[in-house]
Amino acid sequence: MLIVFPGQGSQKIGMGKDLYDRFQSARNVFHEVDDTLSFPLANLIFNGTENELKATENAQPALMAVSMAFVRVLEKEFATDIVSKARFLAGHSLGEYTALCAGGVISLADAAKILRVRGEAMAKACPTEGSMAAILGLDIETVERLVDEVHFENNELKSSKIVLQIANDNCSGQVVISGHESAVARAMKKAQHCGARKTTMLEVSGPFHCQLMEDAAAAVEDVLAKITFHTPVRPIISNVNARAEIDGFDKLLLQQLTERVRWRETVLFAAANSVSECVEIGSGKVLSGLAKRICPQMIVTNINSISSLDEIVKMGKFSATLSRI
């Protein structure tokens, strides 16, 4: 089993509220995160506005808290240590921190601290001329070639140095690029000429997962230096290299800020290592949907609501009975 945790963009107002209302173990997670941040994040998640929640410094710890609430409910109410049942854990961008927390590498409080600093640093590091765009319908090799062409043309013109990188290799036919807005726009135009089904500039606060995040990486490095990392219960597939890792996470997390998220390769790595099931824990269904596109034979399950937990019990996936508080 591959257990995956969502990244930014999966957040929505009210996520995890049913869990919070029903289980003390879920409330404990939200309260610990609130206390760690000295900020009422749970109230923002449940009662705030979409604009407040999507702010990078809020969305990142919020998504982690919701996913970890599900993990704790499974442990306490279902008597199911789902992590120990997994072959690998993984998370998309900030979701990798959730994977590290669920896998026992970092504590819940440390995950919240890091993600608040990471979110604030990413927001501050974002230059106004930076942007991201999704390119649909082209494979990764074609997009890599287009990125190289933009860099080559810029060098030929002897223009000022530009940044343009692949930020997310999500699945075949879904690639995200990041960098200076002018370079992103040129790559989008080239993609259209190459037959891309669609190119869309993304509504994000900045150009994530590229070299324009170097200042953010410096800020995150400072906080990571104060964190104690433990050996994971199960290996974590790194965003940076799409390989199963059991140490070196401090360096990998810094690389992650300025390098691409290799999600397609992550799922393929799991499949190549005899994994046939993907379970997504947390808000939304983005990652399980990508897993199905990458490996159509993969069995996918979402744990994102009390109803999904009840359904899993009915299916007999877990033997324990849901306790009520």
Active site residues: 93, 209
d(Cα 88, Cα 248) in Å, to the nearest integer?
A: 16
CB 66 within 8 A of CB 12: no
The pair of three-digit structure tokens given for residue 321, joined into one six-digit string: 């009975």
10 Å CB burial of residue 205 (0-12, 13-18, 19+) is: middle
At 161, the amino acid letter reads: K
d(Cα 315, Cα 307) in Å, to the nearest integer?
A: 12
Consecutive H or E run containing 298: none
Q: Which residues contact 90 (CB under 8 A, 6 or more apart)?
A: 2, 3, 4, 5, 96, 99, 236, 237, 239, 266, 270
Q: What angle do the packed helices 306-314 and 56-77 form, to 10 degrees?
A: 30
Q: How far is CA 162 from the centre of its chain?
A: 26
Q: Which residues contact 226 (CB under 8 A, 6 or more apart)?
A: none
CB 76 within 8 A of CB 223: no
